[in-house]
């Protein structure tokens, strides 16, 4: 071991040591021994400077790093992990919709995302796949697996999107989509329910859907149950309603099953409803249907709800109990309507009496 070290040391010093065990060759000239007191000063052997040795070491280290970087680059290219810039016009959302937000609508954090991307750029790339439609893929169109909000923010800012392009099967896409949603801005309960139903409706098995949503079998059953009870039209009108969890949506679904008068459809199309935030929209619809259900419960089989001419408001609830009939005027009929009706009641009764007399004469 010492011999190898000495040999290497002597190489950098510019001399080759004699092999161990070998003496001076017989034909080598004999140099007379000079007394130490009269000997000329010894000139030390010339050695390579420490800077040169250090430079060589750095070069070797740099070469090693380049080899590692080249290896990583090959792996990245092989796995499709190269980050590229794509025009937002060439990006389509996933066919398996999950979020019920659209830009700033029902997403209070969207403005902050836009501001962040404007000030600091897009920090995290989105994941896309070449469009499965060959014609669209040939035109450079991609489908988004995750990062829809970042794409919308980039579109608003008029900048391209930094994206990872990866070959993904449909199953790979939905699992990646669900995983990103779980790790970043979480979906509300109803968004998860809609996503679950969309996956099942598109032919995915339950195991894949559960993996995409990171839920157990029992939770998957509850998500699908609510998604079946609440029509998609109502869900989209209400929005994500982040404060409403499973029990509230389940209760709303049960109320919708009893909505024989179509109050839900009238409510979700009213201007006041559409202008409110998502949680308020949920509560308004819930309150309307719950009030109607209570009225029907009090009335038994003889209950009746009377709507305005345009069908947008409930103006009276008629309840029969034996020989008695009760009129209830809700607030939705308008302030002062009950007093107005009370003043007009004699006139209305007189008109009714005349009609009854006319029938009797016939």
Digit-coded pLDDT (tens) for 207-239: 888 988 888 999 999 999 999 999 989 999 999
Indicate whether 139 belongs to any domain. Answer: yes
Indicate whether 82 belongs to any domain. Answer: yes
What's the CA gap between 296 and 258, in Å, rounded? 10
- What is the pLDDT at residue 161? 93
pLDDT tens digits, the chain, 362 residues: what are they? 556 556 555 554 544 444 444 444 434 444 444 343 344 444 444 444 455 544 445 445 444 544 544 454 444 445 556 889 999 999 998 888 777 766 566 677 788 888 889 988 898 899 999 999 999 999 999 999 888 889 989 998 999 999 999 999 988 888 888 777 655 556 889 988 988 898 898 888 898 889 888 889 999 999 999 999 999 899 999 998 989 999 999 999 999 988 866 889 889 988 888 888 899 999 999 999 988 887 766 555 456 777 777 766 778 877 766 667 777 887 777 888 888 988 999 998 888 888 888 777 66
User: 12, 47 in Cβ contact below 8 A?
Assistant: yes
Residue 269, token pair as written in the block: 């199309």
Torsion, Cα 9 13 19 24, to 10 degrees, reads -150
- What is the pLDDT at residue 148? 84
pTM exceeding 0.85: no
130 three-state secondary structure: strand
What's the CA gap between 241 and 268, in Å, rounded? 14
Indicate whether 54 belongs to any domain. Answer: no
- What is the pLDDT at residue 36? 39
Look at the chain and report how many structural domains it folds into: 1
User: 249, 193 in Cβ contact below 8 A?
Assistant: yes
Is the dihedral angle over the CA atoms 341, 344, 347, 351 positive or is it negative?
negative
Indicate whether 116 belongs to any domain. Answer: yes
What's the CA gap between 318 and 299, in Å, rounded? 8
Pairing verdict, β 324-328 and 314-321: antiparallel
Indicate whether 175 belongs to any domain. Answer: yes
By the 10 Å C-beta count (0-12 exposed, 13-18 middle, 19+ buried), 27 is classed as: exposed
Q: What are phi and psi of 146, to 5 degrees?
A: -150, 160
CATH number at residue 104: 3.90.1530.10
Work out the number of other CB atoms within 10 angstroms of the CB of residue 246: 16
- What is the pLDDT at residue 43? 46
Q: Which residues pair with 127 in a beta bridge?
A: 146, 164
Residue 119, token pair as written in the block: 């000030």
Work out the number of other CB atoms within 10 angstroms of the CB of residue 250: 16
What's the CA gap between 16 and 4, in Å, rounded? 12
- What is the pLDDT at residue 280? 93
- What is the pLDDT at residue 221? 93
What's the CA gap between 213 and 56, in Å, rounded? 54
Domain that holds residue 100: 78-228
User: 180, 146 in Cβ contact below 8 A?
Assistant: yes
Indicate whether 146 belongs to any domain. Answer: yes
- What is the pLDDT at residue 183? 55
């Amino acid at each position: 071991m010492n011999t190898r070290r000495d040999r290497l040391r002597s190489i950098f010093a510019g001399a080759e040591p004699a092999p161990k065990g070998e003496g001076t060759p017989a034909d080598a000239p004999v140099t007379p021994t000079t007394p130490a007191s009269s000997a000329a000063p010894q000139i030390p052997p010339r050695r390579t400077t420490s800077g040169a040795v250090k430079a060589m070491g750095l070069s070797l280290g740099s070469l090693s790093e380049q080899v590692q970087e080249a290896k990583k680059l090959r792996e990245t290219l092989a796995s499709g992990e190269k980050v590229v810039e794509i025009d937002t016009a060439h990006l389509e959302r996933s066919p398996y919709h999950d979020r019920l937000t659209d830009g700033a609508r029902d997403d209070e954090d969207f403005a902050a995302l836009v501001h962040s991307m404007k000030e600091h750029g897009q920090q995290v790339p989105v994941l896309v796949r070449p469009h499965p439609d060959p014609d669209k893929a040939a035109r450079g169109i991609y489908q988004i697996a995750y990062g829809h909000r970042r794409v919308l923010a980039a579109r608003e800012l008029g900048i391209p999107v930094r994206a990872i392009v990866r070959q993904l099967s449909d199953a790979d896409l939905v699992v990646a989509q669900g995983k990103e949603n779980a790790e970043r801005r979480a979906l509300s309960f109803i968004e998860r329910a809609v996503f679950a139903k969309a996956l099942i409706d598109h032919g995915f098995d339950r195991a894949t859907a559960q993996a995409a949503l990171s839920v157990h079998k029992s939770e998957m059953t509850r998500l699908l149950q609510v998604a079946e009870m609440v029509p998609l039209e109502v869900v989209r009108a209400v929005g994500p309603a982040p404060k409403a969890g499973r029990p509230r949506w389940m209760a709303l679904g049960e109320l919708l099953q009893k909505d024989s008068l179509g109050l839900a459809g009238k409510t979700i199309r009213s201007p006041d409803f559409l202008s409110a935030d998502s949680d308020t929209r949920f509560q308004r619809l819930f309150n309307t249907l719950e009030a109607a259900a209570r009225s029907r419960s009090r009335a038994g089989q003889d209950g009746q709800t009377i709507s305005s001419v345009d069908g947008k408001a409930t103006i009276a609830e008629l309840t029969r109990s034996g020989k008695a009939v009760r009129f209830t005027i809700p607030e939705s009929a308008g302030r002062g309507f009950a007093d107005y009706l009370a003043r007009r009641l004699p006139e209305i009764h007189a008109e009714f009496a005349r009609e009854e007399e006319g029938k009797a004469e016939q």
